[in-house]
Amino acid sequence: MAILDIVTAEDPLLRTKSHKVVKFDDDLKRLAEDMFETMYDAPGVGLAAPQIGLMQRFIVIGIPAEIDEEGDEIAPAEEYALVNPEIVKAYGEEEMEEGCLSVPGYRGWVKRATSVKVKAQDLDGKPLRIRATGYFAEVLQHEIDHLEGVLFVDRIESADKLYRYDLEPEE
């Protein structure tokens, strides 16, 4: 496995539509492993192939476990490697705070659907259907936007909804 370089917002690749994946092989599985490693190292919860300079319709998502106030796990962590994902239905709307590994140092408030239905394929090409709500729906929309050449900052309605934060950890 390898940690890959993440492309940042000034690179024109991030403004380009990705191509459909047609080859499902060991190279795709290795790419998934590398993308998960890169995403967790960054650290992030989602990564799209264009963010590492590959113009393929492929994303990985790692939703962390949900922990209650006592520190007990109430929902396990989940990982998804989705090939050729597409939102087929979207419901509701809510303003959500987002950041992006390709736009380091910035966060902003974006309107997203509260629930989505997505069709995709797994790493073997088998068709998948996913229904997602809340945070998972937000991450899916964000990563699928990357496949269309759209960054979260493009969806921000006004400059006052984008802000810079400190990237340096506190000592």
Query: Which of 86, 143, 148, 157 does the annotation list as catalytic?
Result: 143
Neighbour count for residue 121 (Cβ, 10 Å)? 19
Asked about 143 being catalytic, the answer comes back as yes
Q: Are strands 58-63 and 66-67 parallel, antiparallel or unpaired?
A: unpaired
Do the beta carbons of residue 128 and residue 121 sit within 8 Å?
A: yes
Give the separation between CA 34 and CA 60, rounded to whole angstroms: 10
3-state class of 87 per DSSP? strand
Of 64, 81, 92, 95, the closest CA to residue 140 belongs to 81
Give the separation between CA 69 and CA 40, rounded to whole angstroms: 24
Q: What is the dihedral of CA 8, 13, 136, 138, to 10 degrees?
A: 80
Catalytic site residues? 143
